[in-house]
Amino acid sequence: MNKPLDFPVGVNAAPALQPQVGVSRAHEAAHLHVSGEALYTDDIAEAHGTLHAALGLSPLAHGTLRSVDVDLLRRQPGVVAVLTAADIPGHNNCGPLVHDDPILADGELRYLGQPVYAVIATDRELARRAAAMAKQAIAATPLPAVLTAREAHAIGQYVIPPMHLARGDAAAALASAPHRLDGEWAVGGQEQFYLEGQISYALPQENHALLLHCSTQHPSEMQQLVAHAMGWQSHQVTVQCRRMGGGFGGKESQSALFACIAAIAASRLRRPVKLRVDRDDDFLITGRRHGFDYRWSVGFDDEGRLLGAEIDLISNCGHSADLSAPVMARALCHFDNAYWLPNVAMHGYCAKTNTQSNTAFRGFGGPQGALAIEMILDGVARRLGLDPLLVRQRNFYRDGQDLTPYGQRVEDNQIQPLTDRLVETSGYHARRAEIAAFNASSPVLKRGLALTPVKFGISFNVVHLNQAGALVHVYTDGSVLVNHGGTEMGQGLNTKVAQVVAHELGLPAAQVRASATDTSKVANTSATAASTGSDLNGKAAQDAARKIRQRLQPLAARLLGCGEDALVFDGGEVRAADGTAAISFQELVAKAYLERIQLWSDGFYATPGLHWDRAKLQGHPFFYFAFGAAVAEVLVDTLTGETRVLRADVLHDVGQSLNPALDIGQVEGAFVQGQGWLTSEELVWHPQSGLLLTHAPSTYKIPTANDMPCDFRVALYDAPNAKDSIHRSKAVGEPPLLLPFSVLLAIKDAVAACGPQRCDPPLRAPATPEAVLDAVDAVSR
């Protein structure tokens, strides 16, 4: 278990002797979650006169919109109003970076499921019934549709220009390498499947203002986009979010469409309007993790060391750019994963298709980039007849080989010692021999084993987003309220930030409370994304709490008769270091109020040392790297294609953990979510109509408790962060999603046992039973 850091006592110290960070504490709202008392956006008591909105969706994947029969829709029971693109008073755009994503379709239908109109009715069901009349209400002329990334790539149809990142001379290295491997592969997308769907509730306020409750990871962006759609200024829009029932990136940019429509309707009708979409409509309207297609050529030596690599990464972006540019940039920056690539040429293509616009998802392109190199190294090992772990270890970054293709040095590299420890604790080599013996005597059931590492860069790869603000209020009874720009989506961000503030002021955790995210309190915030929530907001809150403590110190020193540098804030009191005098924190702040000492403060933090050239894809985009590794053992039924994860051993680097219990929970959840992406979550579109066929839980299979590893061993690697992060911790949200690469490659290892020595099974991802059977058939011929 991680131990808290020791801090010196003094003006700039965090002096709690009863530490509030580095200890396991329950999620601040866990008891509310399990009792059903936690309030989500749909649980907010509806104001008198609340109306409900529903969306009419395009029945075509591509077409020219001729008209919408608004009169037909208005005649339906309960309908109060119908909105089309013509009714948007400001900009008809909800795209976060490129203004290419209309709120409501205007002229062109871009994908099957695109919102064309909004019905506002007295009842949600009545609104949905009227909205569902899209086929009768929409007149459109069909146009040819492009439905796959490969098809779009073949005709050069992209949402942004191609990206290229290179180092050395890949072509020369390939030409001179003793061995060469060419391959093509693809990995599918992934639905975020947040338990709380997309929802916004807009309430008109006096003097042309609006209060918007929105389930979003990015309240400030919702504020800005709503203001643009309304033709207003940002100060007229207040966005609040107490919590989300999951986000995983799906509520970073794509909550904007729902927020804008609810806001426009509420302002136009001067009545509260709620827009909560049905799960099927959510699937059909919103995007998800980008699926990637790959084409690669690699050269390597007899020991499996990579000498040169060239790869095309083709992402399916959907009909608009959304966040596809930074997703592809992160994929290119994570293709190296934990490995030194002396000569490499990467080409990123963001394909434009007539499907939902894909967006952020936990990992944000990093998993798609790193997965490619893992598949390549596995193929290299199999062709050479070597243990894939050995090939991975031979390619690890080492001293003198620590510069990434984008020019950042890999500092504080933990990958070798972390992997060595996991190899030992998991019994990897002994189990490898046991599995070989089992497979030799088992004709139907086959076992597989794989170990995969992770090196993941932490920071937004857009430099200006790496900033955060916070407010800390100390009340005269000694209680504390903290507000920050991050959003709570179940990950425990509010718990960690409250722990940081409690630690800084030497208070019990119960004395500090976090309030709802609110654009009227902390302005111009970044999205809670890129695993930066605790890093940024924790530092900002620490800054605010430290300012308050510094203001209190002169008064405390005078009351206790000691020097300021001899004060200890601990256990809800302030005392002299020699123990001769003490005063309760409550009494101290009450006296401070009487002496007109400011008891609230703002805090701010900007991540230092970052720079990035987006044109050249060079710079220092990450504050630090998080490391990890996992060993997975699976059992495959070669007659049915079914798989089971028998055991998973995970060792993950979170630095000096702020809250080990929460961090272990995040690692476990990320592992299972990543396992779902690579084994069961398959997205299927109709090849002619473009309809997403897997748009409900009946056809789209997320992992359940039954899919968790039967034996799940998760441990935190106990090395403090070398960088000055919040209490030397490291981010934990996204990096562990890459750990279940080990599951996919263990399945591939099991399938390889069905074929001849050195065979390389063509296993697709997700590795559904059908994909497993196809791979078994391919190596068994």
Q: What is the DSSP string of 456-511?
A: EEES-SSGGG-EEEEEEEE-TTS-EEEEES---SSS-HHHHHHHHHHHHHT--GGG
DSSP 3-state of 602 = strand
Rg (CA), the chain: 27
SS3 state of residue 202:
strand
740 residue type, one letter: P
Give the pair of three-digit tokens for residue 649. Answer: 């051993």
Half-sphere exposure of 537 (CA within 13 A, CB side): 33
What b/e string do you get for 486-523 counting C-beta neighbours within 10 Å, with b at 16 or more? Answer: bbbbbbbbbbbbbbbbbbbbbbebebbbbebbbbebbe
Name the DSSP letter for residue 515.
P
d(CA 768, CA 778): 15
Q: Which of 354, 335, 448, 442 is nearest to 395 (CA)?
A: 335
Report the length, in residues, of the chain. 781
Phi, psi torsion values for 520, nearest 5 degrees: -85, -5
Cβ burial 540-562 (10 Å sphere, 16+ → b, else e): bbbbbbbbbbeebbebbbeebeb
Of the candidates 422, 380, 437, the one whose C-alpha atom is nearest the C-alpha of residue 647 is: 422
DSSP 513: E
419: closest CA among 385, 388, 375? 388
CA 699 and chain centroid, separation? 24
Find the DSSP H helices in 251-365.
Answer: 256-269, 279-285, 324-333
Which token pair is 326? 């930074």
Cα–Cα distance between 186 and 175 in angstroms, integer? 25
The per-residue b/e assignment along 389-400, b for 16 or more CB within 10 angstroms, e otherwise, is bebbbbbbbeee
Catalytic residues: 734
